[in-house]
Structures are given as C-alpha cells and as structure tokens.
Amino acid sequence: ILAIMENSPGENGSRYILHFKPEVTNAPTSLSPFELPFHFYNGKLYKMYFITKIFYLTFTFVFLLKLQSFIFVKMAFMCIQLFQITDIKRYLQQKKSEVERIEKTPRRIFSIHRNFSGPDILGMVGELAFVADDDIARVISWQLQGDMDCIITTTTEAAQKLYEDTQGNQQVMALDSFLVQQDDRPLPHIRNRQELFKPSGNPTFARKHLIYRDKQLGCDLFKNLLGDTILMDDLISATNYRKARIQCSTILTRTGERVSAKGKFGGSQNRAPPIDKLKVFGAPLPDNYEELKEQIDVLNRYCAAVQEKEKVEKDLKDHSPKWVDEMLQAKTQKDAMTKELEEINRQLGTFSICFICLILELI
C-alpha cells in the first residue's frame, strides 16, 4: 500500500514511478530495482464523484416527491383520504381482502373449456361476452345455443386450419368472412328519432345486454349473431309490439319465450329450458371490481414511492461527506455575516443622515 502525505508535491493527473534500489553489501547476485507506478490526484475527482452522486440522489429525491404528490392527488380524487403510511398499508390490505372475497364468490360461468390457442384464435362465442341478469342470460344463451361453442378466429385461413386439425368436428367462424352493418339502426317503433307509438315491455336490442371482453370485437361478432333481435319483458308485450309493427325481428322475453321473425310463438320449441340445462354466458364481476383494482394499484405505487423516497433520502445523507457539510456550514455563516453587514450598513446610513441633520441645525 502506498500512502502519500497530504499536500505532497505533484502534478494533478500525472503518472509517477517510484524506484526502489536495494543497497546490499556482498550480494551473491545483482538485484534489479523495483518500480512502483502510481497516479497522482489532488482529490478533485473524489469530490466530483460525490457531487455527481449527490446531484443524482437529489434529482431522484425531487422526482419521487413529485411522484408521491401526483399519486396523493389521485388518491384524493378517488376519495382515499389517508396521510400516514401505516394507514395506507392497512387500507391497502382491506382493498386486497375485498378483491379476494369478490374473486372467490361463486358466480355464473361459461362451462365449456377446450384448449384451442393461437395468435389468430379469439375463443368461443360463450367466452367472449358476459350477461349480468340471470333471466336475460338464459334467454340469449338459448337463442345462441348452437353458436355458444363456436370458435372465432381472425382469419379464414386460421378457421380452415382449425377445422382440419379437428377433422371437421369443431365449428368455426372467421371475422373476415362476414359483413357487419356498421350503423346502429333504431328499434322498429322509432322513425326519424320519433316514436311511432308508446310500447309496453321495455323493448331493447338483445345485444345491448352483453358485456364484451373486447368491445369492438364483441360489437361486430354479436351484431352478426344476434342481428336486430329484440328483448322485451313478457310474451303479451312482445305479441302486442309485433302486432303494432309487422316488420319486426325475432323477439325474446325475460320470461324465456320467443316470438320468431315470422310471428310464430308457443310450444316447447319457443320456450327456453331452465338455465342449468344450457351452455350459458358467464356473469361479469361486480362494477366496483375494476375500481378496487385501480385503487390497489394506486396505493401500491404510493407505498413504493414513499419507500424509495426514504431510501434515497438515507443514501443522500450517507453520501454527504464531511467537506460538503463544512461547505454548507460555511455558506450558512457567510449568509449570516452578509445579513449582519447589511444591517450595520443600514444603521450607519441612518446614523450619517442624522449626523448631517444635526450639523445643519448647529450651523
């Protein structure tokens, strides 16, 4: 180890070589000098390293403060009004428990599972949408019963390959193989945005009750599958509606009845079986589920920002060498002395004016 005394002479950044030449009397063999090369620095690089380190830590600290403030504003917007990190962590655990409870609560599911996967395979019809209401899920699932296990692909080529792979046993449908009417036509009793009559039974398009996994995909797919099929409350309302508007699509009712586009109804062919006998659309998660997930994400980010800020704050303190503290102390003393001198000058100025006034009075 080579130790050099403070304030030793030398040129900053230069390379030096120490020659150690042994002086031994009566040596059996000659000994070559030992050379020890070293670089001389005056400590500026060391200081620059710490200045850079402190600048980085300070920048990171300020950034984390801003991030923490941003997340805190978002928490306030979401009505999360907590200020202590312990409160935040406790509230976070409550939200996680609530999400876990929702996920474990039994709900209606689409019961068919087949392992078809690939970049062009979107899934089965019954997997691509949810229906919240049990009665509506029952009647729409029954209307689409022959399509529920149909695999939807993005391209005809993918559909053909899947057909061949299953020896023709799996029904398939490609998105690029059907034409979808892009504009939303009004219900039959509405023309030029005006109701021709006041219908009973709350008529709506059946597809409006579907909650899509992918909104655009769902709109196109179920427009093709359901078309302008109408959903109403009961059979009486449905038959009266059809009587008032002869040109009408198929009408389904919440009670499980169907009035065909030809006007036919009644019989077992036009009555939905119990829901447990059907391949049925699953029920969606509660409306507050996504809100809870977002709150958990915000709370996690807030906790992480606080912890990172505390870590950087500690690093900033640990990496501040003694000379930095001395510089800050010297600056504080300088500012205090400057302020004191300014005050003395101000007082001297006031004294000078008073002294001049006194001289004038004496004259």
pLDDT in tens, 207-236: 999 999 888 888 889 999 999 999 999 999
318: Cβ–Cβ under 8 A, 6 or more apart, which residues? none
Element containing residue 241 per DSSP (H, E): helix 235-244
Q: CA 265 to CA 271: how far, in whole Å?
A: 9
pLDDT-based confidence at 338, cuts 50/70/90? Answer: low
pLDDT at 306 over 80: no
Lowest mean pLDDT among 6-15, 221-230, 263-272: 6-15
If you average pLDDT over residues 300-310, what whole number do you get?
74
Region 125-132 average pLDDT: 95
Per-residue H/E/C for 116-136: CCCCCEEEEHHHCEECCCHHH
**Which residue in 26, 75, 102, 141 sits closest to 306, CA to CA?**
75
Is residue 349's pLDDT more than 60?
no
Residues 115-138, mean pLDDT to the nearest whole number: 92
> Does 356 score more than 80 pLDDT?
no
**Other Cβ atoms within 10 Å of 110 Cβ, number:** 21
Q: Is the pLDDT of residue 27 over 80?
A: no
Residues of the chain above pLDDT 70, percent: 66
Higher local confidence (pLDDT), 320 or 188:
188
Q: Using 50, 70 and 90 to split pLDDT, how confident is the model at 348?
A: very low
Q: Per-residue pLDDT tens for 230-259?
A: 999 999 999 999 988 767 899 999 999 999
Interacting residues of 262 by C-beta distance below 8 A, sequence separation 6+? none
- Determine contact, residues 85/303, Cβ cutoff 8 Å: yes
Rounded alpha-carbon distances, angstroms, from residue 295 to 91, 143, 298, 354: 10, 39, 5, 69
Alpha-carbon distance of 175 to 217, in angstroms, equals 9
| pLDDT given at position 77 | 47
For the cut 50, the answer to whether the pLDDT of residue 357 exceeds it is no
Q: What's the pLDDT score for residue 112?
A: 87
The pTM assigned to this predicted structure is 0.62
- If one compares 71 and 355, the residue with the highest pLDDT of the two is 71
The pLDDT of residue 233? 97
- Confidence band of 113 (pLDDT split at 50, 70, 90): confident
Give the integer Cα–Cα distance in Å for 191 and 205: 16
Topology of 121-284 in CATH? Alpha-Beta Plaits (3.30.70)
The pLDDT of residue 26 is above 90: no
Number of Cβ atoms within 10 Å of the Cβ of 217? 17
**pLDDT value of position 361:** 45
Domain ranges of the chain: 46-105+290-317, 121-284
Whether 146 shows a pLDDT value over 90: the answer reads yes
pLDDT over 90 at 315, yes or no: no
CA distance readout (Å), 243 to 127, 140, 205, 247, 263? 36, 23, 18, 9, 9
The lowest-confidence range among 50-64, 93-107, 163-177 is 50-64
Looking at the chain, the whole-number percentage of residues with pLDDT higher than 90 is 39
User: Over the chain, what is the mean pLDDT?
Assistant: 78
Q: In the prediction, which pLDDT does 150 show?
A: 95
Strand pairing report for 258-259 and 251-253:
antiparallel
d(CA 338, CA 24): 64
* Contact status, residue 225 vs residue 212, Cβ threshold 8 Å: no
Question: Which range (32-36, 89-93, 188-192, 218-222) has the least confidence?
Answer: 32-36
pLDDT reading at 271 higher than 90: yes
Question: How many residues are present in the chain?
Answer: 363
What are 69-110's pLDDT values in tens digits?
555 555 554 555 545 667 778 888 888 999 999 999 999 999
| Of 30-34, 109-113, 281-285, 342-346, the least confident | 342-346
DSSP E strand stretches across the chain: 15-20, 34-39, 121-124, 129-130, 151-153, 172-174, 190-191, 194-195, 204-205, 211-212, 230-232, 251-253, 258-259
Q: Which two tokens stand for residue 258?
A: 């169907």
Please say if the pLDDT value at position 50 is more than 60: no
Q: And the tokens for 208?
A: 């409006």
